Structure 1
């Protein structure tokens, strides 16, 4: 599903943030991405989402060399990827329900075909009473849960999540992780960036550890 070959990243004329990364992500796999603050976890997720190009090396996603794709083809591939970044990126003029339903609208589905799915998922993440709320009225934890619901609603082939449990209490963190596990069981490959070692210890999953720009994979 994903292949990195000798990938490096630098911003401007600065030092390389990521150096010579080579690894694969297999279909249906589950992995945690961890490392100290500033290690480059968010940069690696951006590479996986194709919103950041490597300064060196080759990134292959779904069998395509991303460097050879035009913007339109990249946009089509991104629809196969679910994404949760720490800034949430909810659309302020849309309700919670509308934000979560957006990926299904983009796929051309009618509201009648997806309404029950969206409502059920929002109830699962504890937002059943916030369907009509606009993002500016949501707390940080509520925005986090809405962003996660939006990322998983279309059952993407690859899910990327940057600290998805960082703004929620331990009980909700466990509930969200169970959601990711169920999504993985249905075939989605999962990459979760987290600092929470205790949370990782509860799951038998591959660990990808970033340290000083280098990646160490622990299967």
Structure 2
């Protein structure tokens, strides 16, 4: 699905943040991206989501060279990748339902065509009773699940999650992990950036460890 070959990234004339990053994301795979705070995990996710361009190296996304993808073609490719941001990025003036449905509304879809799907997805993540609530009323865990639902509403082929269990208690972290496992079993590739070793120990999955700008992979 995505392949990195000797990818490097620097900002301006500063030192390289990422150096000689080489790996690939197979379809329907599950992997953790780990490393100390400040190692560049979020930056690597942004490269995967194509919101950043590398300074050097080759990134291939769904068979296309990232360097050759026109700006107008990026939205269609990004719709094949769901992303859950660390800060959720929910809109406080919209209900949970409206936040999850937003990507479809932006594309101009009629509500009748997606209402059932949004409601079913909210029930799947345990928010069926909270769909008409505004984000400020939601708990941290509920906001996290709403963000996950929004990332999944367009049925992406790959999901990127940036520290999805960083602000929740251990029982909720396990519940969120089960959601990701179920999603992966349904055919979606999953990449979870986390520093939670206890969480990673619960799944037999590939670990990509980022440290000092380099990536070490443990299958």
TM-score (norm 2): 0.93
Which residue in 1 is equivalent to 2:28?
Answer: 28
Which residue in 2 is equivalent to 1:16?
Answer: 16
Tell me the matched-pair count.
219
CA distance in 2, matches of 1:109, 1:184: 27
Which residue in 2 is equivalent to 1:141?
Answer: 141
1:65 and 2:79 aligned = no
C-alpha contact (below 8 Å) 1:82/1:158 kept by paired residues: yes
CA distance in 1, matches of 2:56, 2:112: 46
C-alpha contact (below 8 Å) 1:34/1:195 kept by paired residues: yes
CA distance in 1, matches of 2:111, 2:215: 43
CA deviation map 1:118-174 (0-9, x unaligned): 223323433333212222333333222211111123321010000111122222222
C-alpha contact (below 8 Å) 1:119/1:128 kept by paired residues: yes
CA distance in 2, matches of 1:34, 1:51: 20
CA deviation after TM superposition for structure 1 residue 52, in Å: 0.6
Which residue in 1 is equivalent to 2:51?
Answer: 51
CA distance in 1, matches of 2:117, 2:179: 14
Residue segments in structure 2 that go unaligned for 5+ positions in a row:
none
Once superposed, what is the RMSD of the aligned Cα atoms?
A: 1.7
Which residue in 1 is equivalent to 2:176?
Answer: 176
TM-score (norm 1): 0.93
